[in-house]
Amino acid sequence: MAKSALLKSSLAKKYWMALTGLFLCLFLAGHLAGNLQLIFGDALQFNQYAVFMTTNPAVKLLSYVTYISIVFHAIDGILLTIQNRKARPIGYAKENPSANSHWASRNMAILGSLILIFIITHMVNFWAVMHFDENMPLQTTTIDIAGQKQEFYLTTDGGYLPKIQVEQKAVLIKNRTEFFDAAANVKLKDGYKDLHKITFDYFQDAKYGLIATIMYVLAMFVLAFHLLHGFASAFQSLGVNHPKYNGFIRVFGKGFAILVPLLFATIPVYIHFFAK
Amino acid sequence: MSLDSKIPNGPIADKWTDYKDHINLVNPANKRNLDIIVVGTGLAGGSAAATLAELGYNVKAFCFQDSPRRAHSIAAQGGINAAKNYQGDGDSTFRLFYDTVKGGDYRSREANVYRLAEVSTNIIDQCVAQGVPLAREYGGLLDNRSFGGALVSRTFYAKGQTGQQLLLGAYSAMNRQIGRGKIKMYNRHEMLDLVIVNGKARGIIARNLVTGEIERHSAHAVVVGSGGYGNVFFLSTNAMGSNATAAWKIHKRGAYFANPCYTQIHPTCIPVSGDHQSKLTLMSESLRNDGRIWVPKTLEDAAAIREGKKKPTDLSEAERDYYLERRYPAFGNLVPRDVASRAAKERCDAGFGVNKTGQAVYLDFATAIQRYGNEQAYIKGLHETADAAKIIELGTEVVANKYGNLFQMYEKIIDENPYKTPMMIYPAVHYTMGGTWVDYNLMTTIPGCFSIGESNFSDHGANRLGASALMQGLADGYFVLPYTIGNYLAPDIKLGKIPTDTPEFEAAENNVRQQLEKFINNNGSHSVDYFHKKLGKIMWDKVGMARNAQGLTEAISEIAALREEFHREVRVPGTMDSFNEELAKAMRVADFLELGELFATDALHRNESCGGHFREEYQTPEGEALRDDENFAYVAAWEYKGKPSEAVLHKEELVFDNIKLVQRSYK
Amino acid sequence: MKLTLKIWRQKNAKSEGKIVEYPIDGIDGDMSFLEMLDILNDGLINKGDEPVAFDHDCREGICGMCSLFINGEAHGPDRGVTTCQLHMRMFKDGDTIFIEPFRAKAFPVIRDLVVDRSSFDRIQHAGGFISVGTSGNTQDANAIPIPKHDADTAFDVASCIGCGACVASCKNASAMLFVSAKVSQFALLPQGKVEAHDRVLNMVRQMDEEGFGNCTNTGACEVECPKGISLESIARMNREYLVASVK
């Protein structure tokens, strides 16, 4: 009984919804902390962070949990929504839902779907490029050597590799990041994928940058509303409801729901309008 | 047939124990072969169904509501009495017995009442074990309150919803048995006839109120727990669907109907506001613990208030007449219900009524708010600093905690804030002490047909004390009937299922079908309610709180005439084979129109005043009820002979071995 | 007051229904909503039409029989009341009032505004009780002291009248508030703790089988509940169920 109940029952679905939701909130917080480096850190720092995020085994594990959570949260949400629709085959002619509930709480499925679309485009734009794009640029820097400006690749050992060597095919780039001596076919160093540049280019694009920024900000509004209901709701679903702590959960949840999307949104706005 | 109450011999305190020790028992294996029908799922029917099923009988339970949980027991507010003596204020089985007999104005059967008092304590244990959340004190033990007609605090309660909580307790016990398949529940079904085979009750004809289907159900015994007949007055505190049909049908099949004229008029109800009124709302009697009842001292002030020129709060203490405290210094506002009701009527008839219709008195909490305010200020150490407003605020809080839901209910209905201005109240029909005559076994004069709870007559005499109805319903259902019915069924264990394809069932079903068809095809000109309201008006005006021979004689002929008109002129739309509430109502009102006449006949024959029956010709110089113990210390049990006017009176003389009959005094 | 009523009419469970408009006049603010419907019905009967069927019984807000979805809200616009306690003073002259049955798959319409709520009963059959006999031979009622706070909270949730307003108001037609009220009542009392785990599992299973929707914590039920049952009880049931499931 107990086992099947945890998979099938309506309450169990809510537990999973809540647990995955709360985990995704944690993810949001971490992701935000990383992304804020786009404002407060330099390009190298951000790209180093990107390397860490894609190579550290613990982070990798967490990222898989995140993917699963997103998928589970979405599927579970869709299942719940279908069931809920079925529970009232004939609707009311006259409804007055604002009399007893908040808009966000009644539209979690729509908000969630929009967020899912956002996540997919977001991943196509950044995550997929980062992971699969053969033309993913590597981070370079310009160094003034005796009055001459020369471009170098930054390498993970903290060194530099003149870009001209690659252009002259003395050094080849293999596996997207590895520098190889063309003649000896020996790996020299690793470069940094320049996620920072990708991001800046994306939001500063002359043609689409503004639209991208606006869409991103709108997506954060959607996220905010989703969290506004979702955060406290997750606690309720897990049975955490006590007059002593409800106030804290509510205030914290509201703060989280507003602050996190707001900070996320400031990044593209900063990049588009203020960063050089 | 002579009336044998079958009261066991022996001293009153031992009767029930002795009885239980010597009855026939049915062994568990045989109980499985016995079917019992229970009609009604209130406190009595619900608790009986659950207990009988648990004992092993196959129970079929019927209710007209959509769920057993909605039976009108649910509306009882104040509490349930039990001689637990938790408060140590001198309560005992004997005292509860004594208070009940005295409160009933010495018109109840001693042995039944003693048994009731005896099992009362079990009820509380049972309910607590079932998870009924009765009110508790801070120490975690059960709390008690005092109630009208008693000098001890023996009333257990759950805020103002005691009936609801107890009923849900019985309902939960039923659920357990329904879940196990031992009770088969028939919701939205109405019993429309009793089937008698070879002189014994063996089944019922019921109508499925959803499909209109007429069904035959057989059993080895039939238990009727269908409540009282207060709706004969149209306006009462009963639910809209509360009806006397099951009780009246068994009466027509041979069960005597006892003391129909004993009706309880509850003193604290919300007054009638207009013709549209469909029912009256009761406010728990517990309000009288803290509220003080008054009317203006002068007719001028009363008139000014009625015309809206003065407000009750404009009147000083000296200008108010706290008439209950004046007339009954010992019990004050806590006199029994009949006394309080009549006193209100007396003042209103004399012209002191305080609402537009002149049919209302004040129930004032200002003194209580003040008293509790002072108490709280003292507890909180504010008594030196708190100003008058603070005291009132603190006192209001206490009153709100005790009676908040009632005050809110009042405000919703009347649209006045009862914390600031006194409530208006007026008596309303509430409970009927009369009902099917039963013997000590709770069996009617039809073998195998039992009657429990409000639908029987047995325990409250001519007036019921507050918080005793719940006690009686549960006592009958949980603890009395399960023993007595076994005694009756013991010889039937080898009988097998009762078939329903017999001439007796056939005839009963046809009888029902004909009545239904007649209504559907009766192309009359008035709705059922039209007649019900007319009946109610006759009853209230002439057979209400105070009666006299002339009015009763008029009422009898008026009701008979109205009944004839009803059958001629009633219009019932719709069809028989569908959900048709008008048809269901027509069947019920047809019965009320017969019962009303018997009611008035009984009131006319009883040439005395007692409890809820007040004959203006029989009163003391101070206007109190004047009993005639010499000539009327009996139960009037009426036998149906085809027409209410031809009913034959049988008397069960009441013997009082343990209580001395005196004039009730609450002074 | 003059009003326009738009009422759902449906002959029986199988037939299709529709909204029918009825003008009504002479309505007084002191009337209850159901008394207004009584007047409508009296007029319909006198005209030879069939009256509007609606459930009602005690008319004092305790039996839970009355229902009605009035202008988009279960039991109408007032708070803390059932339809029978709703008074016409909540409406204005000239108002249009939509009157619909409580809608849910688990509450099929029987006729007009009458719905079948026996799904609630079946949930209670599955576990809405404490398994004690009715012999009265239990221990003394005062044998187990119960903290006043627990007793009071148990009472608060036990005051549920089973009307179904929570289901009707919920956008998912979820019965969580109803079920959790009963689960909570017993979970809070020592008598009920013994079989608390089985109870919650069984009642939730039955609730799911009846076809009620899932709780998405919109809180509409709590607002519309005539007895003010709080969402806290839903959280309590979530907790109870979680513990019972992993045990």
Share of chain A above pLDDT 70, in %: 97
CB count in 10 Å sphere of residue B126: 28
B337 belongs to the catalytic site: yes
Min Cα distance C215 → chain B (Å) is 25
Contacts of C12 in chain B (CB under 8 A): 578-579
| Domain's final residue, options C82, C110, C138 | C110
Are residues C217 and A105, on separate chains, in Cβ contact within 8 Å?
yes
Q: Do C104 and C124 belong together in one domain?
A: no
| Domain's final residue, options B413, B428, B443 | B428
CB count in 10 Å sphere of residue B420: 12
Confidence (pLDDT) at B159 = 86
The tens digit of pLDDT for each residue in C63-83 reads 999 999 999 999 999 999 999
Are residues A9 and C218, on separate chains, in Cβ contact within 8 Å?
no
**Helix, coil or strand: residue A219:** helix
Q: Do C205 and C91 belong together in one domain?
A: no
CA dist B42 and B427 (Å) reads 24
| Domain's final residue, options C93, C110, C127 | C110
Q: Give chain B's largest Cα–Cα span.
A: 83
Are residues C103 and A91, on separate chains, in Cβ contact within 8 Å?
yes
Across the B:C interface, residue pairs with CB atoms under 8 Å apart total: 224
Q: Does residue B134 form part of some domain?
A: no
pTM: 0.94
Q: What average pLDDT does this structure show over B504-517?
A: 98
Place A7 in a pLDDT band, splitting at 50, 70 and 90: low
Domain that includes residue C164, residue range? 117-246
Q: Do C32 and C145 belong together in one domain?
A: no
Residue whose tokens read 């004040």: B362
Residue of C nearest to B73 (CA): C63
Are residues B133 and C145, on separate chains, in Cβ contact within 8 Å?
no
The tens digit of pLDDT for each residue in C138-188 reads 899 999 999 999 999 999 999 999 999 999 999 999 999 999 999 999 999
Min Cα distance C93 → chain B (Å) is 18
At residue A261, does pLDDT exceed 80? yes
DSSP string, A234-257: HHHHTT---HHHHHHHHHHHHHHH
Structure token pair of residue B424? 């208006």
Q: Do C229 and C130 belong together in one domain?
A: yes
CA dist B149 and C218 (Å) reads 49
Place B664 in a pLDDT band, splitting at 50, 70 and 90: confident
Mean pLDDT of chain A: 93
Q: What is the helix (H) or strand (E) element at residue A115, kind and residue range?
A: helix A108-122
CA dist B474 and B476 (Å) reads 5
* Catalytic residue selected from B107, B207, B292, B337: B337
Closest CB to B65: pick one of C39, C57, C78. Answer: C57
Q: Is B touching C (3+ C-beta pairs, cut-off 8 A)?
A: yes
Share of chain B above pLDDT 70, in %: 100
Q: What is the helix (H) or strand (E) element at residue B200, kind and residue range?
A: strand B200-208
Q: Do C10 and C103 belong together in one domain?
A: yes
Structure token pair of residue B227? 């409540």
Are residues C98 and A90, on separate chains, in Cβ contact within 8 Å?
no
Domains held by chain B: number = 2
Q: Is C touching A (3+ C-beta pairs, cut-off 8 A)?
A: yes
Q: Do C130 and C239 belong together in one domain?
A: yes
Min Cα distance C230 → chain B (Å) is 17
Q: What is the CATH number of the domain that holds B363?
A: 3.90.700.10
Kindly state whether B401 is in contact with chain C, defined as any CB-CB distance less than 8 angstroms.
no
Q: What average pLDDT does this structure show over A112-120?
A: 96
Confidence (pLDDT) at B1 = 55
Min Cα distance B523 → chain C (Å) is 10
Confidence (pLDDT) at B274 = 82
Q: What average pLDDT does this structure show over B364-390?
A: 91
Place A5 in a pLDDT band, splitting at 50, 70 and 90: low
Min Cα distance C186 → chain A (Å) is 17
At residue A237, does pLDDT exceed 60? yes
Structure token pair of residue C168? 């009707």
At residue B145, does pLDDT exceed 90? no
Q: What is the CATH number of the domain that holds B567?
A: 1.20.58.100
Confidence (pLDDT) at A6 = 58
| Domain's final residue, options B428, B454, B485 | B428
Residues 6 or more apart whose CB falls under 8 angstroms from that of B37 comprise B59, B60, B61, B62, B203, B204, B217, B219, B221, B222, B223
Contacts of C63 in chain B (CB under 8 A): 65, 70-72, 74-75, 239
Closest CA relative to residue B427, chosen from B254, B270, B193: B270
Contacts of C208 in chain A (CB under 8 A): 8-10
Per-residue pLDDT of chain C (247 residues; tens, 9 = 90+): 999 999 999 999 999 999 999 999 999 999 999 999 999 999 999 998 999 999 999 999 999 999 999 999 999 999 999 999 999 999 999 999 999 999 999 999 999 999 999 999 999 999 999 999 998 888 999 999 999 999 999 999 999 999 999 999 999 999 999 999 999 999 999 999 999 999 999 999 999 999 999 999 999 999 999 999 999 999 999 999 999 998 8
CB count in 10 Å sphere of residue C163: 29
Structure token pair of residue B250? 């068994």
| Residues linked to residue B183 through DSSP beta bridges, in sequence order | B59
Domains held by chain C: number = 2
Kindly state whether B574 is in contact with chain C, defined as any CB-CB distance less than 8 angstroms.
yes
Q: What is the CATH number of the domain that holds C7?
A: 3.10.20.30
B465 touches B103 (CB < 8 A): yes
Q: Does residue B648 form part of some domain?
A: yes
Closest CB to A11: pick one of C204, C224, C232. Answer: C204
Confidence (pLDDT) at B639 = 98
Kindly state whether A2 is in contact with chain C, defined as any CB-CB distance less than 8 angstroms.
yes
Are residues A86 and C246, on separate chains, in Cβ contact within 8 Å?
no
Are residues C146 and B413, on separate chains, in Cβ contact within 8 Å?
no
Are residues A84 and C77, on separate chains, in Cβ contact within 8 Å?
no
Chains in contact with B, where contact means 3 or more Cβ–Cβ distances below 8 Å, are: C
CB count in 10 Å sphere of residue B169: 30
Confidence (pLDDT) at A4 = 52
Closest CB to B125: pick one of C87, C126, C138. Answer: C138
At residue A2, does pLDDT exceed 70? no
B626 touches B608 (CB < 8 A): yes
Q: Do B405 and B541 belong together in one domain?
A: no
Q: Does residue B49 form part of some domain?
A: no
Confidence (pLDDT) at B652 = 97
CATH topology of domain A2-86+101-133+195-274: 3 helical TM bundles of succinate and fumarate reductases (1.20.1300)
Closest CA relative to residue B223, chosen from B460, B442, B507: B442
Q: Does residue B485 form part of some domain?
A: no
- CA angle B570/B551/B663 to nearest 5° reads 125
Q: Do C106 and C215 belong together in one domain?
A: no
CA dist C34 and C66 (Å) reads 9
* Predicted ipTM > 0.95: yes
User: How far from each other are the two terminal CA atoms of chain B, in whole angstroms?
Assistant: 43
Residue of C nearest to A236 (CA): C235
Domain that includes residue B316, residue range? 266-428
CA dist A13 and A5 (Å) reads 10
Three-state SS string over chain C comes to CCEEEEEEECCCCCCCCEEEEEEECCCCCCCEHHHHHHHHHHHHHHCCCCCCCCCCCCCCCCCCCCCCEECCEECCCCCCCCHHHCEHHHCCCCCEEEEECCCCCCCCEEECCEECCHHHHHHHHHHCCCCCCCCCCCCCCCCCCCCHHHHHHHHHHHCCCCCCHHHHHCCCCECHHHHHHHHHHHHHCHHHHCCHHHHHHHHHHHHHHCCCECCCCCCHHHHHCCCCCCHHHHHHHHHHHHHHHHC
Q: Does residue B589 form part of some domain?
A: yes
The tens digit of pLDDT for each residue in B396-429 reads 999 998 888 889 889 989 999 999 999 999 999 9
Are residues C240 and A239, on separate chains, in Cβ contact within 8 Å?
yes
Domain coordinates in residue numbering, chain A: 2-86+101-133+195-274, 140-190
